[in-house]
Amino acid sequence: MKIVDLKCAIIGKSPIVRIVTDEGISGYAQAETWKPYLKPHILAFRDALIGEDPTLVERVMLKIRQRGGFKPWGTAVSVIEMALWDLAGKAAGLPVHKLLGGKVRDKVRVYNGSVRFPFTGYRPEDYAEDMKKMMALPQGFTIFKQPIGFHSAMKREVPDFYYGEPGAGAFHGALDRGPITEKGLHHFVDCVAAMKEVTGDSVGLALDCGPGWMLGDAIRLARMLEPYNLMWIEDLLTGDYTPWVNAGVYRELTRTSTTPIHTGEQIYLRQNFKELIESQAVHVVGPDPADVGGIAELKWIAEYADLHGITMAPHGTANGVLGLGALVQVSATLPNNFIAFEYTHGDPDWWDDIVEGLPAVENGMITVPDRPGMGVEILPERAQRYLGPDDQDFFR
């Protein structure tokens, strides 16, 4: 089997990769909905892939892996890796988890970081009301992650939240940063207390906090949050589109906190997790398969983290329905340091109508499918109508 073409189309808002072979089998993968601009970056790898055997995933990846970088520039490499695994699974007639060593769990836990409701304000009562809505969702999620602080409009909408001016936000994930006021710190904690009044100990609550916090403020916040038994506090110092790790600074925060400290969604490749893990600079790592280099890379990081007593909660909020399939497959194979991965859904909603094999969430869990490949298959006859003028030959 040989690769004869690499294609990329924008469907909805997502770059979709298709690797085509001479035996009529194709592998698909999906990048985050925030990244339609990556289409030319993905197609730049076409010549390197033509003629390769797609079932030799690592051999193919050795040709292109060094051409990626921290979020968003590792995505082009990552989605190609996932499309290769999808193709290899279909060629073997096996689910991808069996190619990765086999599943160790029949169901995987997901946490809600993507099903959202519009906020009407950023007061404690607004956060409490939002938590009530999320707890009523039909998926029965058992863990919720709430954007707050620098990872929300709180930095703009709450007067005097911090000693700084938030930027205009020309790009998704723009980095606003600065010292927190005493008022801002207390407001943040009051909002967490209001959410915990709703959740009690019946579900887990995690916070997506930044990046943007100064180390001293992060230490104070972590200590003030200790009574609330949070699942984790995420990306206080770096994260999202920050193109560095700062493991040493994270370690200073982690060693003072009994609340688990989490980061990692923007990091590309295992090498850039090395210091973070070996120095035990965080309690939880959260690589995104569509940014870190793919699912095999994520699995390696999870296993290495497990050796160092660090837990795993993969990111994936905007990876779409094909990304959901990939997260289920790899999460089924991870060691017992796995907590849950971040649920991702179709955006726009019509995505659910152009795929088959989409796994359902029941009581916060997804049953691992045994369909060949990633388990979620795009249906060309239904998806064709959503292709733009430049992508009309994507399925041909």
Residue 68 included in any domain = yes
pTM above 0.85, yes or no: yes
Residue 74 included in any domain = yes
Same domain? For 80 and 194 the reply is no
200-234, pLDDT tens digit by residue? 999 999 999 999 999 999 999 999 999 999 999 99
Same domain? For 232 and 179 the reply is yes
Residue 238 included in any domain = yes
Same domain? For 201 and 345 the reply is yes
Task: Give me the amino acid identity at 298.
Answer: L
Residue 243 included in any domain = yes
Same domain? For 77 and 165 the reply is no
154-174, pLDDT tens digit by residue? 999 999 999 998 877 778 787
Tally of domains in the chain: 2
Residue 290 included in any domain = yes
Which pLDDT score, from 0 to 100, does residue 315 have?
98
37-91, pLDDT tens digit by residue? 999 999 999 999 999 999 999 999 999 999 999 999 999 999 999 999 999 999 9
Same domain? For 260 and 221 the reply is yes
CATH number at residue 29: 3.30.390.10
Residue 206 included in any domain = yes
CATH number at residue 223: 3.20.20.120
1-18, pLDDT tens digit by residue? 999 999 999 999 999 999
Which pLDDT score, from 0 to 100, does residue 170 have?
74
Same domain? For 46 and 181 the reply is no
Residue 343 included in any domain = yes
84-114, pLDDT tens digit by residue? 999 999 999 999 999 999 999 999 999 999 9
Same domain? For 24 and 128 the reply is no
116 is in which domain, residue-wise? 98-374
> What pairing do the DSSP bridges indicate for beta strands 377-378 and 355-356?
antiparallel
